[in-house]
Structure 1
Amino acid sequence: MKFISQLGIIPFDFSVLASNLKDYKSPRQKVLELEKQGTIIRLKRGMYVVSPSVSGKPLSEELIANHLYGPSYVSMETALRYYGLIPESVHAMVSMTLKLTKNYENNIGRFEYIHCPADYYSIGIRQVVEEDYAYLIASPEKALCDLIAYTPKLRLRFVKSMQTYLEEDIRFDMVEFYKMDPDIFEQCLAVSKKKTDIQNILKLLKK
C-alpha cells in the first residue's frame, strides 16, 4: 500500500482511501483493518492521518487542528506556548473558529475550538509554511487577545490586575511582551467584547 505512505502527514478523508481501495470487496472494512493495524490514525469520523511509523515523519498537531474543524487557527495558551511566551505545558490544542464551539478527543490528544465573529477572527493570523505543508496560527498578540477575551469569568479591569495576570498567573515573558505590536491589540479592541481588558493591555504596553 505504497499510496498510504505517500499521503505524508496531511489529514485526509475516507474518500481518499476509498478511491485507492477500489479492488477490495469492502473498502470500508479495509479502512477499519488499516486503523486496527496502526497504519492510519482516526482523527474523527471519516478523517484520518497516516501513522508516523508508516510516513516516517512526526505529526503536526497544529496542522491536524486546522483540518479537524475549520476554518480555524491555533491560538490562546497553545500558541503562546508555541512561541515560548509562557512556560506551562498545555493540556489541549486550542483554536478559534468561525463555526460553533466544539471539542474533539482522539489518539493524538484533545482539540478545543472556540467561536468568535468574523470581524474579530480575521485579525492577526499567521501562516506557518513547513517543508510540505502549512497551517494557521495566531500571532503572539492575537493569541493573548484571544486568551483574555475568551476565557470565561476572566475580568482584568485595571492595568495592575492585567500586569499581575501576565506576570504571576500565566508567567508571561514580559521582556517579549514589551516588544509586542500595539496595532494588533488596537484592531482587536475595535471589535472585541472585552474592550476594557484589551485597553489595559495597551496601557501596560505603553507604560
Structure 2
Amino acid sequence: MQYLKLKESLKDFTVFSLADIRRVDSSFHRRRLNEWQEKRYIKKLIKGYYIFSDLELNENVLFEIANRIYAPSYVSLEIALSYYHLIPESVYGITSISTRRTYQFKTPVAEFSYRTIKPKLFFGYELVKYDNKVFKMAMVEKAILDYFYLNPLINTENDFGSLRFDRDMFFEQVSEERLHQFLKLFARKTLAKRIRAFWKFLSGEGEV
C-alpha cells in the first residue's frame, strides 16, 4: 500500500497500530513502517503505535493518545487537576489511571505515565468530545480522589497548602454529593478522613 493511500484510509485516526493498517490492507508488511519512519512520514510512539508526522498536537490530542496506547485507562491525577484549573499549570506529562500495572512511556510527543488501581475503582470518568473524537477524562471529583488515594502521605495542612489548589475553582466545580458518593466506593476510612480534612482546609469551616 502506498503511503498517501494509507494516510487517506486512516485520516480519522489520531494514533494507529499495525492492526489498524491491516484492517485496511491485510497484506501490509511492517517493514514499510520502518521505511516511512526513515522518511519522516510517521513517528513511532511506543512499540506498535504510530502517528502521522504532520499531526497537530494539542492537549486533547495527547489525552486521546494516552487512552489509546495503554488501555484501559483514563486521564486523571495531576494533569486532570490542571485541566480543571484546580492547580497551577506545570510540566506533569500526561498522567492516567489504569487497571494494568503502573507504567511510564517517554515518547517523541510527550511523557505518558499510568498508575494502577483495582478494577472496582475504575470508574468516575466521562467521554469528552473534541473534533468528532473523544477521550476519557476523570470527572473532577474522581481526579481528586484518585490523587489522594495514590498519594497517602498527603495528610497535613502543610501538605494541602503545598498543592496550591484554587479554592474558588474547587467550590465552583466540585459536587459535594458526588464526591461523597465516589468516596464511599473506595471504602477507605483513612481516605475519607483525609478528604474531610482537605475540604475543611479549603473551606475554612467545619468538617463535611
Which residue does the alignment assign to 2:179?
Answer: 185
Aligned mates of 1:11, 1:83 — CA distance in 2: 25
Q: TM-score, normalised by structure 2?
A: 0.81
Which residue does the alignment assign to 2:14?
Answer: 10
Q: TM-score, normalised by structure 1?
A: 0.82
What pairs with 1:94-113 in structure 2 (closer than 5 Å)? Answer: 94-113=95-114
Aligned mates of 1:120, 1:203 — CA distance in 2: 25
Aligned mates of 1:107, 1:89 — CA distance in 2: 19
Q: Which amino acid aligns with 1:32?
A: N
Provide structure 1 residue ranges, at least 5 long, that are not aligned to the other structure. none
Aligned mates of 1:42, 1:72 — CA distance in 2: 20
Secondary structure at the counterpart of residue 184 of structure 2: helix
Superposed CA RMSD: 2.4
> For the Cα contact (< 8 Å) 2:167–2:202, is it kept in 1?
no
Deviations 1:39-79 (A, max 9, x none): 1121211111222x2x5x43511000000111111011101
Shift of 1:130: 0.9
Aligned mates of 2:70, 2:20 — CA distance in 1: 18
Shift of 1:20: 5.0
Provide structure 2 residue ranges, at least 5 long, that are not aligned to the other structure. none
> For the Cα contact (< 8 Å) 2:93–2:111, is it kept in 1?
yes
Aligned mates of 1:199, 1:185 — CA distance in 2: 11
Which residue does the alignment assign to 1:154?
Answer: 153
Change (3 A) 1:94 1:23: closer
Which residue does the alignment assign to 1:196?
Answer: 193
Which residue does the alignment assign to 2:35?
Answer: 33
Q: Give aligned pairs, total.
A: 194
- Counting aligned pairs with the same residue, the percent is 26
